[in-house]
Structure 1
């Protein structure tokens, strides 16, 4: 396990479980020295996280994870060492919340039309902001007896091949871009997201490229032309082969290879803090991020 984890979420993300204070206590227990709370399109938890990190004698890097799009592909862009300016990030969050509230209605209709049973009231009770995420739908659906569900739900029940992280795996398999239950939302461009992070003093890094980039080299080269400074090479999502692929290409493109678990809590139960180890290069990663900020 590493001592650096630059990708985790608090309950200020709609799919996060813990308060920033609880998250910092968990980081301390996991043996981390440096962490970054990167909530989805939101910076509201950073102040509490910084106070808690100081009490736990940890370094917390102010961060954010922005949804954006480039060449027709949706990406997640991490911003490190940002100034958490609500005047800049607040409108982004509010715009996406409004869109997500509408999109989740369509998503639930599509799931029900596929014959998947779930208690909508229970799913709504899991939400803190009126957005019923794909993971919440999955949690509600998995509360229903397996015998009453269609075969496509079988992999997510205990013992199934996708049961390690059943809620988020349901999202990636059925609700992500290009999947049958996908409900589109209009995101800012990758260029706009990079500019926002830069305006607030941060460093833009592409999150878990194996999930969105999918080893498409021309697309990767195009992404790096938009002021992206590196990639989350060491990710809990990546196979060893993917990690090596992105390590090599990140070096070729002159980028910073960062590491992050993408820890959420119950949404991804098999993911542990510090599980995406940078292979002993923690100090080098931090030095390069600080230099890129300057």
Structure 2
């Protein structure tokens, strides 16, 4: 049974991804990956390519997606594995979220400018986006690239090996544009329950993505989410602390849920994250093979 597995990665079909599916497979082959799942944000457009190049490279590719949704007022991400990715509903969701994101693009920039003294080059932001979604990461790339912003106290941790210099663009998004932050503009995502049902109806497994990253100090909400009928939890994530891993491991084990592994590889937006599978802590290493086997069995 394979141990070189990564079930969470993004291609250029995600609004914040860098590489094509072909390039991702090449990286995976170089790193000795045996099982990979492409989980683009709200998009399944890269799945066919990923499967094609995966076959050529001798890598098992699992169809996947990561969908934005909302539960009890909290924005979160639901992973779908083994889905019938050709169903029209997945394309409809992508188009719907794209339209909503484009509608608020200027508002996001205006809120950042109105709530900070940062220099924000709006024209350059739209130029880099090239007609695609204006992400917090793109705005961050432009703002952090402006030399006059380097001495702004708001950005102190982003430079000179500061705490946020490991992946500055993503931290910028989290700090200024994520839910509850000063430049956040709400979008009405579909309910988590609807997304879970769609994934299941399409023959897939619904797995809660990196819950520690979304719920922070409100981890206990996972109890309610489990009641909604999810199939698994992304226990092993590059975002989870040892304590969070243990917390979600115990919740999954208690409720007989699948436990998945994910690097959440993106490319330049998360440069410290490599496409090499999530390194399971030593405490759980002996269980990894069984967890992978259980996952593969459930996909059949």
Give the TM-score normalised by structure 2. Answer: 0.92
Q: CA deviation at 1:171?
A: 1.3
Q: Which residue of 1 aligns with 2:290?
A: 284
Q: Which residue of 2 aligns with 1:253?
A: 255
Distance 1:269 1:146 in 2: 24
Contact 2:112/2:176 (<8 A) preserved? no
Q: Which residue of 1 aligns with 2:72?
A: 71
SS of equivalent residue, structure 1 residue 66? strand
Gaps of 5+ in 1: none
Q: How many residues align?
A: 293
Contact 1:146/1:154 (<8 A) preserved? no
1:202-248 residue CA offsets vs partner (Å, 9 max, x unmatched): 10000001111235354111101111111111101112222122212
Q: CA deviation at 1:282?
A: 4.6
Q: CA deviation at 1:254?
A: 1.8
Runs (4 or more) in structure 1 with deviation over 3 Å come to 146-149, 215-218, 280-283, 290-294
Give the TM-score normalised by structure 1. Answer: 0.94
Which of residues 228, 233, 242 is equivalent to 1:226?
A: 228
Contact 1:115/1:149 (<8 A) preserved? no
2:126 paired with 1:124? yes
Distance 1:146 1:253 in 2: 52
Distance 2:186 2:151 in 1: 26
Distance 1:160 1:49 in 2: 36
Distance 1:254 1:129 in 2: 44
1:136-195 residue CA offsets vs partner (Å, 9 max, x unmatched): 000001111155653111211242211101111111122111111111111111110001
Q: Which residue of 2 aligns with 1:170?
A: 172
Q: Which residue of 2 aligns with 1:203?
A: 205
Give runs of aligned pairs for residues 230-245 of structure 1, distance below 5 A: 230-245=232-247
2:95 paired with 1:94? yes
> Compared with structure 1, are the counterparts of its residues 60 and 275 closer, same or farther at alpha carbon in structure 2 (3 Å cutoff)?
closer
Q: Which residue of 1 aligns with 2:106?
A: 105
2:50 paired with 1:49? yes
Distance 1:23 1:195 in 2: 29
